[in-house]
Amino acid sequence: SPYDYIVVGAGPGGLIAADRLSEAGKKVLLLERGGPATWETGGTYGPVWAKGANLTKFDIPGLFETMFTDSNPFWWCNDISVFAGCLLGGGTTVNAAQYWIPPDSDFATTTGWPSSWTNHHLYTDRMKARLASTDAPSTDGKRYLEQSADVTARLLDVQGYRRVTINDSPDSKDHVYGFTAFDLIKGKRGGPVATYFKTANARPNFTYKQNTYVLNVVRNGAQITGVKTNDTSLGPDGVVPLTPKGRVILSAGSLASPRILFRSGVGPSDMINIVKNDVAAGPNLPPQAQWINLPVGYNVSDNPSINLVFTHPSIDAYDNWAQVWDNPRPADAAQYLQSQAGVLAGSSQKLNFWRAYGGSDGKTRWMQGTVRPGAPSRFLPTAPHNASQIFTITIYLGTGITSRGRIGINASMTALPLVTPWFTDPIDKVIMIQAVNDIATNIRNVPGLTLVTPNNTTTIADYVNNYDNASLGSNHWVGSNAIGAVVDENTKVFNTNNLFVVDASIIPQLPVGNPQGTIMSTAEQAVAKILALAGGP
Ligand code: 6FA
């Protein structure tokens, strides 16, 4: 049967859009290519030690680091070359759950937003009312495994930083640090699935179909009439129709929404021609005269990030999180199972800090630091070191960077970066080296603190200059369908009547922090604008 709104993808963008549209009484279909994740949504995959406790891998925050070490990682999208979550909740179901209330700069005209978007507080407040943040995720309110936060605070104090509760003053992002804030709820993964999806799913006018892959939208010129899926039980040829005034919202994420556009004849002609040459996808393209030429995939950014590994005698490296799946510390597992308290009630991140840097081009760039006990195995030093005392500081550059890349597809329809977006502007790299140096040169002020990666024969400049490109990214892709370039200020794709995009891809520049909070506020504002736009169902 036809729907007023078909939303493609159940990540944060799609979940908020689907919830608000169904709340407004529209007949909504949410299509998700992946399956369930948390216990509450029907997921079952969990560690043996949590058997019988109604908890999955995705529920237990302390299992975050095991997303990257599991032998059967079915949650990653298998046709996207970088990490992306393909299950209910999208990235928010597999990510570290760091959650920042957006500052005004995240929606400022200086970061590429139309002036109609700058008053974000109404929408940010709606998001906060549905999904609160916490910087003490354990149900007993205590903080655990905080040694790396304490050591780093001492390192930052000598550089003129001050301690804040980060989400209490979102606009303070220069020389500040504070405990990591999360969208965890009662010691478990919360996010938009435990909140927005829950309310949407309770409404009779809302339908959720999982394990359903959307191939393209079906259109006649500017008018979208439905979406084509891989599930022929949903309609002839797998096509789900729209009501006459119906609309489609793409929320498949920064790499997959562009692919759906290319497969629908929207984007640069080199990408649509790849689709045309594909035996399966080619025949579904509209005739060439109806192709819509837009810069889909251009203007992409993602935070460049550099890991620094340290040792300090006060640190408990928590075995680099290597034991939490098979063999957690018994007391920690018992405490978590009993009351969702303790170390495993939080993910690995402990402290975050920000600082603004002026560049030689007159522009300001914001650096973020993120601190956690342990280190990824590929960053462990080869030289002798005290393995039980290791912790990592990751230095990211965010708002203000000028480097950009391009996202596209290859001949096997895999979505991938065609041009990686890190350090395409050398000034970004100069600032990164400066920011890393500021951390490294101050360690002598903290007795016992030792930098082990890079080692003491490598300069910071060499370390950054020779950094493996594959490790430089942060999974925070934005901008591939930037507002003003691909979508208009109502998030409608230019030159279409009824096709919208609501996900990270419409965000024109990197937010100041990890992006999910900004994405959720963006979705709240987008769906309000879509509902207010004349001509809809
Ligand atoms: N962001 C934060 O704010 N804090 C973090 O701690 C954080 N950590 C990570 C992280 O550790 C990893 C490993 C990754 C991958 C991302 C992290 N992020 C973090 C970024 C954040 O999760 C993403 O920016 C955010 O989830 C993006 O939200 P979107 O709504 O734009 O897109 P998603 O990729 O989340 O969701 C898209 C959904 O569409 C998925 O469920 C996917 O299965 C579905 N989909 C894709 N193609 C489809 C198709 N053709 N048909 C149907 N469904 C499709």
Q: Per-residue pLDDT averaged across 12-18, rounded?
A: 99
Residue 379 has pLDDT above 90, yes or no: yes
**Cα–Cα distance measured from residue 30 to residue 210, given in angstroms and rounded to the nearest whole number:** 8
Give the SS3 label for residue 250: strand
Q: Is 415 in the pocket of ligand 1 (CB under 6 A)?
A: no
Contact 45, 22 (CB under 8 A): no
pLDDT reported for residue 33 = 98
Share of the chain above pLDDT 70, in %: 100
One-letter identity of residue 58 = F
What secondary structure, in 3-state letters, does 459-477 show? CHHHHHHCCCHHHCCCCCC
pLDDT digits (tens, 9 = 90+) for 186-203: 999 999 999 999 999 999
Task: Using alpha carbons, list the distances in angstroms from residue 169 to 5, 121, 172, 297, 473.
Answer: 36, 13, 6, 33, 27
Give the SS3 label for residue 249: strand
Residue 384 has pLDDT above 90, yes or no: no
One-letter identity of residue 219 = R
CA dihedral 500, 504, 506, 512 (to 10 degrees): 150
State the catalytic residues.
476
Beta bridge partners of 250: 8, 501
Average model confidence (pLDDT) for the chain?
A: 97
Task: Using alpha carbons, list the distances in angstroms from residue 505 to 183, 255, 349, 400, 476.
Answer: 21, 8, 25, 17, 10
Q: Is 515 in the pocket of ligand 1 (CB under 6 A)?
A: yes
- Enter the tokens of residue 463: 């370390």
pLDDT digits (tens, 9 = 90+) for 290-332: 999 999 999 999 999 999 999 999 999 999 999 999 999 999 9
- Enter the tokens of residue 352: 């975050």
Q: Is 90 in the pocket of ligand 1 (CB under 6 A)?
A: yes
Contact 353, 329 (CB under 8 A): no
pTM: 0.98
Q: Whose CA is nearest to atom 25 of ligand 1?
A: 91
Mutate to test the pocket of ligand 1, among 7, 135, 516, 519 (most ligand atoms within 8 A of CB): 516
Contact 71, 46 (CB under 8 A): no
Cβ partners under 8 Å of residue 50, min gap 6? 60, 333, 337
Q: Is 292 in the pocket of ligand 1 (CB under 6 A)?
A: no
Q: Whose CA is nearest to atom 20 of ligand 1?
A: 476
Tell which residue, 533, 513, 532, 527, has the closest CA to residue 96. Answer: 513
* Pairing status of strand 162-163 against strand 176-179: parallel
Q: Is 8 in the pocket of ligand 1 (CB under 6 A)?
A: yes
CA of 328 to the centre of ligand 1 (A): 28
CA of 479 to the centre of ligand 1 (A): 14
Residue 28 has pLDDT above 90, yes or no: yes
pLDDT reported for residue 203 = 98
Q: Is 149 in the pocket of ligand 1 (CB under 6 A)?
A: no
Cβ partners under 8 Å of residue 93, min gap 6? 37, 38, 58, 75, 85, 87, 189, 191, 193
Q: Whose CA is nearest to atom 43 of ligand 1?
A: 86
Using CA of residue 532, residue 535, residue 536, residue 537, what is the dihedral sign? Answer: positive
pLDDT reported for residue 383 = 85
Task: Using alpha carbons, list the distances in angstroms from residue 344 to 45, 54, 59, 248, 331.
Answer: 17, 15, 10, 40, 11
Angle between helices 269-276 and 256-263 (to 10 degrees): 70
Share of the chain above pLDDT 90, in %: 98
Cβ partners under 8 Å of residue 157, min gap 6? none
Give the SS3 label for residue 63: helix
**Cα–Cα distance measured from residue 110 to residue 511, given in angstroms and rounded to the nearest whole number:** 12
CA of 38 to the centre of ligand 1 (A): 15
Task: Using alpha carbons, list the distances in angstroms from residue 3 to 205, 240, 256.
Answer: 10, 8, 22
**Cα–Cα distance measured from residue 204 to residue 378, given in angstroms and rounded to the nearest whole number:** 49
CA 434, 436, 442: angle at the middle one, nearest 5?
100
| Ligand 1 atom closest to 88 (CA) | 41
**Cα–Cα distance measured from residue 242 to residue 265, given in angstroms and rounded to the nearest whole number:** 19
Q: Is 253 in the pocket of ligand 1 (CB under 6 A)?
A: yes
**Cα–Cα distance measured from residue 230 to residue 155, given in angstroms and rounded to the nearest whole number:** 54
pLDDT reported for residue 382 = 86
Q: Is 251 in the pocket of ligand 1 (CB under 6 A)?
A: yes
CA of 501 to the centre of ligand 1 (A): 14
**Cα–Cα distance measured from residue 177 to residue 424, given in angstroms and rounded to the nearest whole number:** 29
Q: Per-residue pLDDT averaged across 21-31, rounded?
A: 98
CA of 37 to the centre of ligand 1 (A): 14
**Cα–Cα distance measured from residue 344 to residue 352, given in angstroms and rounded to the nearest whole number:** 19
Tell which residue, 213, 216, 187, has the closest CA to residue 62. Answer: 187
CA of 77 to the centre of ligand 1 (A): 10
Helix, strand, coil: what percent of the chain each, to 5? 30, 20, 45
Mutate to test the pocket of ligand 1, among 262, 348, 475 (most ligand atoms within 8 A of CB): 475
Q: Is 504 in the pocket of ligand 1 (CB under 6 A)?
A: yes
Cβ partners under 8 Å of residue 428, min gap 6? 304, 365, 397, 401, 402, 403, 422
**Cα–Cα distance measured from residue 220 to residue 3, given in angstroms and rounded to the nearest whole number:** 17
Q: Is 336 in the pocket of ligand 1 (CB under 6 A)?
A: no
Q: Is 34 in the pocket of ligand 1 (CB under 6 A)?
A: yes
| Ligand 1 atom closest to 68 (CA) | 13
Q: Whose CA is nearest to atom 24 of ligand 1?
A: 476
CA of 83 to the centre of ligand 1 (A): 9
Prediction ipTM score: 0.99
Count of helices and strands (H, E) across the chain: 12, 18
